[in-house]
Amino acid sequence: MADLCEAYLKDFPVVVPEGPLPKRMPKEYIFSMWLQGEEQAPQIVRSCWDSIRRHCAEELVVLDANNITQWIDLPEGFLKKWRAGNVKACHVADLCRVELLWRYGGYWMDATDYMCHPMPDFIVQAPFFIYLSTEAHNTFVQNCFIRAYAHHPIMGAWREILRFYWEHHSWAFDYYLPHRLLRHVVLTDARVSELFDQMPHISHSSTHTVRWGGYWDMPFDKKKCEQLVSDGAFQKLEYKSLSAQSHRLGTFADYFVNGMV
């Protein structure tokens, strides 16, 4: 799939901001999103946000359909496609996360990212960081978590190609559209490639040990949980499954859904 996408994208322009690398902004944010509004989010999502507020000093900003435009200016053509129902919520979030980090810097965390400890120093100190996907997942990166300085060249190039795509398309050729576009940028531009190589290259597997590692429905074990979450900056959860919505008491799911970890 990645090779087919690269063939499709081969003529897409890659525009990389010039100039010196940016400095870290004095105030950074952690951004997340629930289009229906924070109060309408499932319990597991609210527990994820509580975990971020518990472990991080940065202000958590939860965007919804009403306050997006207070933070960023999305292309009018994209907004029209969204209002017409041609753009899915996931692709609204895909564009917003890149726009937000390009403008403000800080972190993007999906609504189902659960933090079990403070942000690791190697991420805090990184001008840009994103977890890589495994070969089995084949999406190049995992964009459920992004750390970037404001106006970082990688974010600028990623932003430009996403905006170009939605200017010329009313649909996403793949659910993993932003992942494919970032891969194209990294493979195409020497400066982006060099900056990408400078970040720590870490698989997203360390962030998927609880929910996707077979422990979700097992009886909770504090010591085992500490081992499982020790290497990842967060744990990637989900809200759609039966065990996320109606879990058994005393399981790992119970502890995470109710914010007891």
Report pLDDT digits (tens) over 85-136: 888 899 999 999 999 999 999 999 999 999 999 999 999 999 999 999 987 6
pLDDT at res. 136: 67
Structure tokens at 257: 């859904």
Say whether pLDDT at 1 is over 60: no
At 156, is the pLDDT very low, low, confident or very high (cuts 50, 70, 90)?
Answer: very high
pLDDT at res. 51: 98
- Please tell me the distance from the alpha carbon of residue 169 to that of residue 165, in angstroms, as a whole number: 6
Kindly report the backbone phi and psi dihedral angles of residue 5, in degrees, each rounded to the nearest multiple of 5, phi listed first.
-65, -40
- Please tell me the distance from the alpha carbon of residue 195 to that of residue 73, in angstroms, as a whole number: 27
* Highest mean predicted confidence (pLDDT) among 10-19, 46-55, 174-183: 46-55
Cα distances (angstroms) measured from residue 81 to each of 52, 86, 136, 166, 220: 32, 5, 33, 9, 45
At 247, is the pLDDT very low, low, confident or very high (cuts 50, 70, 90)?
Answer: confident
User: Residue 50: which of 251, 260, 242 has the closest Cα?
Assistant: 260
- Please tell me the distance from the alpha carbon of residue 76 to that of residue 150, in angstroms, as a whole number: 23
pLDDT at res. 171: 84
Range from 1-15, 120-134, 171-185, 217-231 carrying the lowest mean pLDDT? 1-15
Residue 200 vs residue 135, higher pLDDT: 200
Structure tokens at 234: 């967060």
Percent of the chain with pLDDT over 90: 80
Q: What is the pTM of this model?
A: 0.94
Cα distances (angstroms) measured from residue 176 to each of 16, 131, 133, 140, 218: 22, 15, 12, 10, 31
